Amino acid sequence: MQIILFLVAYIFYLPLSSLNYFFVDNKKGYFLSSAINLDKFGNREFRTLLNKTLITDKGYRFGNIEETISSVLGKNERDGTLTKSGIRLVWILDKLDKNHAKKSIS
């Protein structure tokens, strides 16, 4: 039953989010706000995977629901505690938005 609930929630998120856009009065920044919320959720939900693959043992840890993945990456980039995979991910983000992770530090 749990997997069914998960799948229903997952399947309905995108269409409901898109439909909701048309009912929101202030549309400016709607999708950016949603992206940040998903990012924070991902930081919490995938903390074990992210901690094991993107940072060293001494790195600043993923898992705070109030913080984005990019913010944690930025802190680890600053502190020199990214793994090779973490460095690659930051490089990709920086190609999309210069100094993205460092700018995201909260």
Residue 49's pLDDT is what? 98
Rounded Cα distance between 87 and 6, Å, is: 31
Phi first, then psi: give them for residue 55, nearest 5 degrees.
-135, 160
Single-letter residue type at 37: N
pLDDT for res 86: 98
The answer to whether residues 55 and 76 touch, using CB atoms and an 8 Å cutoff, is yes
Residue 106 predicted with pLDDT over 90:
no
Mean pLDDT, residues 44-59 taken together: 98
Any idea where the domains of the chain sit in the sequence? 31-106
